[in-house]
């Protein structure tokens, strides 16, 4: 039994972790993110709130220390709810409140949450924590633990983990092992077992049309110099040589995310430093905490080709759709995207594949929640973060069909494949390792090379830019962030600019993880896209009080 929390002890802890200035922290798209040297009090206080959350849910709660794709000098923290999902939105305000009050107000602020949520503080609490490879993560982890201990709670520190691994651990802890063993080895065992089983069931002889290119099991990985580079090597030990992975940017030299990693590859639309692909070689890129994955290759003309989250979502959706119809199950399957999804992918899904597509605001929590509305919900952000969710009903039907002796052997095999596929997907959050195994299985089943996969549809040229403004919170958006409602005149200006181009689309929104406004544009040619992105950036700079140098036109313009 844990000790009951003591306001004096929580307050006393602030002496060791004082707030240094009046900087206001906001719990954004992925928790708190800021320069690591400002975060000590934020971690301490996140520990305090995590304990209250655990008491209120009467279950273990996770806390991950990472700033994902941000530069190495940044860090961050996010709370994970008992089933491994993102923190319930109504609690984001509590964490922000606790993090932003003065040191001497801490006890009262905690008591306020206890009263509002009617929390029984004699309830035992348990916190599960992990961290990425940033140099600052170790000491921030200690700040967090100090907060947890000050509240009289118990904890388990897993040390280095990918973000999705920690989400997995939290779910395992709270489901009595039904989801998997709450151990790093347990995670590898679960994924590798499902992967090897599924692979056996979908050997090309049985499955779907055979493509021209031929599957290759060789992969070149850009590990972003992060935790994914370490963990993939652990995973490989369990895969019976089914995949050959050469790890580049493994953290032995370069800095985390510096000129590498999935965010860099997506934004620059080019290969990362440290991985120069040979023509046709299959390459992948993880982000700093391995919850994103992108595929890329250099084609025969030397052109860089990116297979982003949208391409991964369409590949997975088509595969699952085929298996579901093979079994003869009636399941409502849909794909969830954000405004950043390439227009071609949305058209392909809706018009060619006849799969319903939902668009939600940026941030995993929005995608995840929407995907739960489908029997099989596939969600992916264009940047490579995504997974597949199966409703309980869908899972039960699939498991039952896989054991139904009255079904033909083809149908049963398809159901068994779906059953293994459920075990292969991380049902808590996007997971670069699990997604890689699933994509590789599908390419293997179809006997596809990356170029076969890429030929499904052609992305519209697109560009993302960042604009620095005095206060990014003055930008308000609506319609799943596809339109702005303030500052006045900005949306009209964007509409006018978009009209000048063919197949054009553009929107702006404040980032939830960086102190910038993001601009997105797509159009018929790269030249037009770059011009549109520049023109919209300039409008943002002018109408939203840009700071520093104004955006510059694309080179040569
Ligand atoms: P912000 O900074 O709010 O755009 C970015 C990504 C999100 C999500 C979070 C969390 C883009 C355009 N945005 O959010 O999709 O992944 O980081 O890491 O890629
Ligand atoms: Zn990430």
**Cβ-count burial 136-150 (b if 16+ within 10 Å, e if not):** bbeebbebbbbbbbb
Q: What is the pLDDT of residue 461?
A: 96
Phi, psi dihedrals of residue 267, rounded to the nearest 5°? -70, -40
State how far the Cα of 430 lies from the Cα of 404, in Å rounded to an integer.
31
Of residues 46, 56, 68, 344, which has the active-site annotation?
A: 68
Closest ligand 1 atom, residue 512 Cα: 3
Q: Which residue has the higher pLDDT, 285 or 11?
A: 285
Answer yes or no: is pLDDT of 471 > 80.
Answer: yes
What pLDDT is attached to residue 206?
A: 46
Supply the residue whose CA is at minimum distance from atom 5 of ligand 1. Answer: 513
Structure confidence by residue, pLDDT tens digits, 229-255: 999 999 999 999 999 999 999 999 999
Strands (E), 44-188: 61-65, 74-80, 126-131, 154-160
Which among 333, 275, 335, 341 has a CA at the least distance from the CA of 308?
A: 341
pLDDT tens across 479-533, in order?
Answer: 999 999 999 999 999 999 999 999 999 999 999 888 899 999 999 999 999 999 9
Tell the residue number behind the tokens 């890329």, with chain if given. 296
Q: Which domains does the chain have, with CATH numbers?
A: 7-160 (3.40.120.10), 187-192+201-306 (3.40.120.10), 309-429+450-454 (3.40.120.10), 462-543 (3.30.310.50)
- Is residue 257 in contact with ligand 1, taking CB distance under 6 Å? no
Q: Give the pLDDT confidence score for residue 210 in this predicted structure.
A: 47
Q: Give me the pLDDT at residue 204, please.
A: 60
Closest residue (by CA) to atom 17 of ligand 1?
A: 513
Mutate to test the pocket of ligand 1, among 71, 337, 362 (most ligand atoms within 8 A of CB): 362
Beta bridge partners of 219: 245
Does residue 512 line the site of ligand 1, with CB under 6 A?
Answer: yes
Active-site residue flag, 68: yes
- Report whether pLDDT(467) > 80: yes
Distance 325 CA to ligand 1 centre (A): 34
- Whether 509 is in the pocket of ligand 1, judged by its Cβ within 6 Å, is no
Looking at residues 528-545, what average pLDDT do you find? 97
Read off the pLDDT of residues 131-184 as tens digits, 9 standing for 90 and up: 999 999 999 999 999 999 999 999 999 999 999 999 999 999 999 989 999 999
Is residue 32 within 8 A of residue 43, CB to CB? The reply is: no
The CA–CA distances, whole Å, from 431 to 62, 180, 181, 332 equal: 16, 16, 17, 23
Assess contact for 129 and 156: CB atoms under 8 A: yes
Answer whether 163 contacts ligand 1 (Cβ < 6 A).
Answer: no
- Give the whole-angstrom CA distance, residue 263 versus residue 279: 22
30 within ligand 1 shell (Cβ under 6 A): yes
- 3-state secondary structure at position 225: coil
Give, as one character, the DSSP assignment of residue 51: H
Q: How far apart are CA 168 and CA 162, in angstroms?
A: 10
Is the CB–ligand 1 distance for residue 428 below 6 Å? no
- Give me the pLDDT at residue 4, please: 65
Q: Answer whether 146's CB lies under 8 Å from 13's CB.
A: yes
Per-residue CA distances from 103 to 19, 114, 238, 475 (Å): 7, 18, 48, 31
Residue 282's pLDDT is: 97
pLDDT in tens, 171-225: 999 999 899 999 999 999 999 999 999 999 987 654 444 444 589 999 999 999 9
First to last CA, the chain: 68
Measuring CA to CA, which residue among 311, 310, 257 is closest to residue 285?
Answer: 257
Q: Which two tokens stand for residue 197?
A: 């089983």
* Phi, psi torsion values for 541, nearest 5 degrees: -60, -45
Does the pLDDT at position 2 exceed 90? no
* Distance of alpha carbon 526 from the chain centroid: 27
Question: Ligand 1 centre and the CA of 488: distance in Å?
Answer: 25
For the segment 92-121, the average pLDDT, to the nearest whole number, is: 96
pLDDT tens digits along 398-429: 999 999 999 999 999 999 999 999 999 999 99
Mutate to test the pocket of ligand 1, among 464, 512, 515 (most ligand atoms within 8 A of CB): 512
Rounded mean pLDDT, 57-72: 97
pTM of the model: 0.95
Residue 213: the pLDDT is 56
Output the average pLDDT for the chain.
Answer: 95
Kindly give the distance from the C-alpha atom of residue 526 to the centroid of ligand 1, in angstroms, as a whole number.
23
Closest CA to 459 of 341, 292, 317: 341
- Is the shortest distance between the CB of 427 and ligand 1 below 6 Å? no
68 C-alpha to ligand 2 centroid (Å): 4
Ligand 1 touching residue 211 (CB < 6 A): no
Model confidence at 449, in pLDDT bands (50, 70, 90)? very high
Mean pLDDT of 2-21: 82
How far is the centre of ligand 2, averaged over its atoms, from the C-alpha of 69 (Å)?
6
Q: How confident is the model at residue 1 (pLDDT cuts 50, 70, 90)?
A: very low
């Amino acid at each position: 039994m844990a000790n009951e929390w003591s306001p004096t002890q929580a307050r006393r802890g602030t002496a060791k972790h004082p707030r240094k200035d009046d900087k206001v922290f906001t719990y954004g798209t992925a928790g708190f993110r800021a320069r690591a040297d400002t975060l000590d009090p934020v971690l301490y206080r996140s520990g305090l709130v995590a304990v209250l959350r655990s008491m209120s849910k009467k279950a273990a709660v996770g806390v991950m220390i990472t700033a994902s794709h941000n530069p190495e000098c940044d860090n961050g923290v996010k709370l994970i709810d008992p089933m491994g999902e993102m923190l319930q939105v109504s609690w984001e305000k509590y964490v922000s409140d606790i993090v932003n009050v003065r040191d001497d107000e801490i006890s009262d602020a905690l008591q306020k949450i206890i009263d509002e949520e009617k929390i029984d503080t004699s309830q035992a609490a348990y916190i599960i924590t992990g961290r990425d490879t940033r140099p600052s993560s170790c000491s921030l982890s200690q700040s967090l633990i100090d907060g947890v201990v000050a509240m009289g709670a118990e904890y388990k520190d897993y040390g280095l983990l990918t973000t999705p691994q920690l989400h997995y651990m939290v779910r395992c802890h709270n489901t009595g092992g039904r989801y998997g063993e709450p151990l790093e080895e347990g995670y590898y065992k679960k994924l590798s077992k499902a992967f090897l089983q599924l692979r056996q069931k979908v050997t090309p002889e049985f499955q779907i049309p055979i493509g021209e290119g031929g599957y290759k099991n060789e992969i070149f990985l850009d590990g972003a110099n992060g935790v994914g580079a370490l963990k993939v090597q652990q995973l490989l030990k369990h895969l019976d040589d089914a995949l050959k992975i050469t790890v580049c940017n493994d953290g032995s030299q370069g800095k985390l995310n510096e000129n590498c990693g999935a965010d860099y590859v997506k934004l620059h639309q080019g290969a990362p430093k440290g991985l120069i692909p040979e023509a046709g070689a299959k390459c992948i890129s993880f982000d700093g905490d391995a919850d994103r994955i992108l595929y890329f290759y250099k084609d025969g003309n030397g052109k860089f080709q990116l297979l982003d989250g949208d391409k991964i979502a369409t590949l997975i959706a088509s595969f699952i759709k085929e298996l579901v119809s093979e079994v003869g199950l009636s399941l409502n399957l849909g794909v969830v995207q954000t405004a950043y999804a390439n227009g071609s992918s949305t058209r392909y899904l809706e018009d060619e594949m006849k799969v319903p597509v939902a668009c939600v605001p940026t941030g995993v929590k929005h995608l995840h929640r929407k995907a739960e509305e489908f029997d099989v919900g596939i969600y992916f952000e264009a940047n490579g973060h995504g997974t597949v969710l199966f409703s309980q009903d869908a899972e039960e039907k699939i498991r039952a069909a896989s054991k139904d002796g009255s079904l033909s052997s083809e149908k049963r095999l398809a159901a068994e494949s779906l059953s293994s596929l459920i075990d292969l997907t991380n049902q808590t959050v996007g997971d670069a390792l699990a997604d890689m195994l699933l994509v590789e299985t599908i390419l293997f089943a179809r006997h596809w090379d990356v170029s076969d996969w890429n030929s499904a549809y052609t992305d519209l040229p697109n560009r993302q830019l960042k604009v620095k403004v005095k206060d990014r919170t003055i930008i308000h958006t609506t319609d799943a962030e596809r339109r702005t409602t303030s500052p006045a005149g900005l949306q009209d200006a964007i509409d006018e600019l978009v009209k000048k181009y063919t197949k054009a689309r553009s929107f702006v929104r404040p980032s939830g993880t960086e102190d910038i406004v993001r601009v997105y544009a797509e159009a018929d040619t790269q030249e037009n896209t770059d011009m549109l992105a520049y023109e919209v950036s300039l409008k943002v700079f002018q109408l939203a009080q840009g700071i520093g140098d104004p955006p510059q036109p694309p080179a040569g313009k």
